[in-house]
A and B are shown apart, each in its own frame.
Chain A
Amino acid sequence: MRKWVIRVILVAAIVGVGVWLWGVFFPSPEHVIRKRLNELTQAVSFSSNEGSLAKAMNAERLTGFFSPDVEITVDVPGHSQQTLHGRDEVLQAGMAARALAGSLNVEFLDVNVTLAPDKMSAVVNLTAKGRAGSEKDLLVQELKLMMKKVKRDWLILQVETVKTLS
């Protein structure tokens, strides 16, 4: 009886480890996208003590998250609509943000990933929360991202602001 129980526990443990290893080596697209977006928040964020070289390198690193033909449209109340096309403009925007704000801390909350049936593209809806420099107020904006799978990587193809209230 005791041997039987040990065998069952052993099989359950092996199955559990197998499932865990499968998740580690073959993560679901949704998991990969969430991880990628988490890395993006780290690349977008910067501190006030970032050196000039680090500034340039981190801004350059930012472009790796985007497709070469990325289009970013920002339409928020009180400002004219801004559109960025391509990685070069993303890089310039990243550099400009680093020059203008002393620091920036960005988080993505409520990340909802909807995969296309072929699992080669996805639509992501999320809330971006940011605090720039010593600003008291938080910047909060709902965003919609379109991502596509290129080889084993997920790249951002399109970003647009969502009007929660219109």
Chain B
Amino acid sequence: MLPTYKENGINLLNRLAYVWSQPKRGDVVGIRLAGPHIMFMKRIIGLPGEMVAFHEGHVIIDGVVLDEPYVKRPCDWERAPVILGPDEYFFVGDNRSMPQIDHTFGRGQRERIIGKILL
């Protein structure tokens, strides 16, 4: 999540953030693996039902380029469009300077979102 969040930092996660509301685009969230002991920290860029793609490093949502002021380093990522299911979100980190193949990103189920990063 560089440069928004530094490596090896300590972050607070609000586990109640999505009890009464749904995750929103731009939210930085904790995504569980098998359980909450290890989480990915990613930003939500795609919401349920949307079509998400990467073209020349830009995120395309339903055919429109997404404005991402938090991305400071340009990239050349390419990814074919995927249509998100009714319970799926698309997650990606802010550090797009690394090779696409080394970056863990993609769609995931709502139930994997543990909470929203506060700080």
Contact assessment for A126 and B34 in the assembled complex, using a CB-CB cutoff below 8 Å: yes
CB pair A127–B35 under 8 Å, yes or no, is: yes
Look across to chain B and name the residue whose beta carbon is closest to the beta carbon of A109.
B37
Q: How many interface residues does B have (CB within 8 Å)?
A: 20
Residues of chain B from 27 to 71 with CB closer than 8 A to chain A in the complex:
31-38, 40, 42
- A140, B33: Cβ atoms under 8 Å? yes
- Report if B21 contacts A (CB, 8 A): no
Q: How many residues of A contact B (CB 8 A)?
A: 18
Q: Is B104 an interface residue (CB 8 A)?
A: yes
* A112 and B34 alpha carbons, distance in the complex (Å): 8
Q: Verify B36–A164 contact, CB threshold 8 A.
A: no
Q: Does B112 contact A (CB under 8 A)?
A: yes
> A117 an interface residue at 8 Å Cβ cutoff?
no
Contacts of A51 in B (CB 8 A): none
CB of A78 within 8 A of CB of B35, answer no
Name the CB-closest residue of B to A141.
B33
Contact of B108 with A by CB under 8 A: yes
Q: Does A1 contact B (CB under 8 A)?
A: no
Q: A164-B104, A165-B108 are in contact. Are A129 and B34 (CB under 8 A)?
A: no
B96 at the A interface (CB under 8 A): no
Dominant secondary structure at the B interface: mixed
Contact of B40 with A165 in the complex, beta carbons under 8 Å: yes
A125 at the interface (CB under 8 A from B): yes
Q: Is A118 an interface residue (CB 8 A)?
A: no
User: Once the chains bind, are B101 and A127 in contact (CB under 8 Å)?
Assistant: no
Q: By the criterion CB–CB under 8 Å, are A127 and B38 in contact?
A: yes
B35–A165 CB distance below 8 A: no
One digit per residue, 1 when the CB lies within 8 angstroms of any chain A CB and 0 when it does not, for chain B 102-118 equals: 11111110001000000
A contact residues around B106 at 8 Å (CB): 163, 165-166
The reply to whether B102 and A129 form a contact with Cβ atoms under 8 Å apart is no
* Measured CA separation A120–B42 after assembly (Å): 39
A110 touches B108 (CB 8 A): no
A164: nearest residue on chain B (CB-CB)?
B33
Which chain B residues border A101 with CB–CB below 8 Å?
Answer: none
Residues 80-115 of A, flagged 1 when their CB comes within 8 A of B and 0 if not, give 000000000000000000000000000001111000
Q: Do B102 and A109 have beta carbons less than 8 Å apart?
A: no
Separation of A166 and B84 alpha carbons in the complex (Å): 11
Q: Is the CB of A127 within 8 A of B40?
A: no
Q: A77-B101, A163-B106, A164-B40 are in contact. Are A112 and B35 (CB under 8 A)?
A: yes
A residues lining the B interface (CB < 8 Å): 77-78, 109-112, 125-127, 129, 140, 142-143, 162-166
12 sample A-B contacts, Cβ–Cβ < 8 Å, listed by A number:
A77-B102, A110-B36, A111-B34, A126-B34, A127-B35, A140-B38, A143-B34, A162-B33, A164-B40, A164-B112, A165-B42, A165-B107
